[in-house]
Amino acid sequence: MDSKVPKGPLAAKWTQHKNDINLVNPANKRNIDIIVVGTGLAGGSAAATLAELGYNVKTFCYQDSPRRAHSIAAQGGINAAKNYQGDGDSAYRLFYDTIKGGDYRSREANVYRLAEESTNIIDQCVAQGVPFAREYGGLLDNRSFGGVLVSRTFYAKGQTGQQLLLGAYSAMNRQINRGKIQSFNRHEMMDMVLVDGKARGIIARDLVTGKIERHSAHAVVLATGGYGNVFFLSTNAMGSNVMAAWRAHRRGAFFANPCFTQIHPTCIPVSGDHQSKLTLMSESLRNDGRIWVPKRMDDAIAIREGKLKPIQLKEEDRDYYLERRYPAFGNLVPRDVASRAAKERCDAGFGVNKTGEAVYLDFAAAIQRYGTEEALTQGIKNADDKEITRLGKAVIEAKYGNLFQMYEKIVDENPYETPMMIYPAVHYTMGGLWVDYNLQTTIEGCYCAGEANFSDHGANRLGASALMQGLADGYFVLPYTIGDYLSKDIRTGAIPTDSPEFDDAEKSVQDRLDKLMAGSGQNSVDFYHKKLGKIMWDKCGMARNAKDLQDAIDEISALRTDFWANVKIPGKAEGMNQELEKAGRVADFLELGELFAKDALTRNESCGGHFREEYQTPEGEALRDDENFKFVSAWEYKGEPKDAVLHKEELKYENIELKTRSYK
């Protein structure tokens, strides 16, 4: 496993690397084809940039339009070290916060490059017309996110992902109109084709007609997002899946750190068994919302039983537990810390909804604070409480209005008047395909960008870093590094699709579809997905232990066997069949879930989002083992998850001191 990290000082590695790698001249780019699977922020920005450079690009997405990628759901913002606030930010500070936030389990060089390129992302997006919020003087506004002590998060209300995706999509559309991008919507990658050990194309299924298609290229880029839906209930779109990455894994791409999954602390709580997904409330709300539960058990019980309203509870009877436990960062601790703290309070019996699995996110203090400031700004002296509340609500609405509206539509409570109820839920996956410094997987010619790779976030992602990584990879990293590889293909010519390798890959896809359709029809696809999700949440969720993880491995293996024998898929494989689509994805989740549990079982430490109950400090914090587990777990496919072979990339920290992570 060669990470290909350049030699030299950390701050000079990326610049020197760009000077050293080979380039492809414009005339030769016209003769080279690239496939990009996934058209969210990472894939869309990569496709647009590669086409702009002159390559011939084919894009594939299972949605009816790239605008429906799950990137659109990102709410709170995107990080960049531009230091507009003058509060001490820098590329190094962003690098340090990201490494520390990931609990020292990410690759130094990749993270520093991410911090370097962050400033270019903002300029690129402003040039595209992304309507970032601005402060009074006209500069772009910033807000804080968890795990940092500066304001570096650029935002567009609570719709940042949507606005950034529209920017990338407009850049893609320009290239589609020029004929440099061929867009294949409603197509799903079913397999990767290797010729002489190199990724030379994919087998795709037209989800409207059911037709199996062959597409060749000189390189393949996977940018298909994360695998949070292995838990069934998550904040991910229902269609989000692991298929493209997992099929590449089956062809030889190592899968890294599958157990590193992020539980987001501010989601709307589960309301019943009928739900198919959960809804995120942006972390940006923790800038102004204070998180609390009742101090006394009898008050918590009264609230759960509907006998007491939260606004009736006096200030001295509330436990602002994050402010109490982590005074330096307060409500803006990293997501893994905030999630475990919420679970601890609810497990202790202080939860506030009917199920006992919710805490409050309260904006009353912020409304008063902003109202007072606004009254003074407008020259209103001696404003009464009613006027201050009115003005404060207007400020909150300007910052978070669409989020408050979404909450009210789902919960049927007005969050301006009564505190929001929130609880942790599966959100982001830090694990993914292993990539080197150039974003190339262990398959030559197969690249991976954005959430689909493992590279930048370690064991926990800081808020507002997902959009940053996706756009950095797509706009500013991959277009350089892929050229170094493609410089060897300028005389290769078009890759034929009538080769034995394409024949074999297509047959493998067809055989798999036939096997899925041959199930006895005892249970639906969702039956198996929900069962898998319950195993994953109960035994591989916010807290894990050796016994539960071993049980999960055994139970998932048995569930997978039952799935292949007894799944029910109505209709035919020839034509549109959404149950068949789901079945293929759940089949992959049933393999990934077992590898996830196996990875968690082998990592005998707690770090970031991976919390092993056997390894914690007396205060209940994660207890790392840097001596034995300072490595990336990269798994090689061997037919069954139980047979997967572990490879280790040792992590070197030459520019940062490893410390016990503290936010107190």
Q: Measure CA 277 to chain center.
A: 15
CB 357 within 8 A of CB 345: no
Among 448, 399, 456, residue whose Cα is nearest residue 110 = 456
The predicted pLDDT at position 275 comes to 86
Establish whether 335 is a catalytic residue. yes
The predicted pLDDT at position 272 comes to 79
Burial of 542-571, coded b for 16+ CB within 10 Å and e otherwise, reads: bbbbeebbeebbebbbebbebbeeebebee
Rounded to the nearest 10 degrees, the angle between the axes of helix 546-566 and helix 578-602 is 160
Q: Which two tokens stand for residue 187?
A: 């197509």
State the catalytic residue, choosing from 143, 286, 335, 585: 335
Whole-angstrom Cα distance, residue 650 to residue 403? 41
Sequence-distant (≥ 6) Cβ neighbours of residue 346 within 8 angstroms? 293, 356, 357, 358, 359, 423
Positive or negative, the Cα torsion across 66, 241, 285, 91?
A: negative
Please tell me the pTM assigned to this model. 0.97
Whole-angstrom Cα distance, residue 296 to residue 291? 16
CB 340 within 8 A of CB 542: yes
Residues of the chain with pLDDT under 70: none
CB 164 within 8 A of CB 471: yes
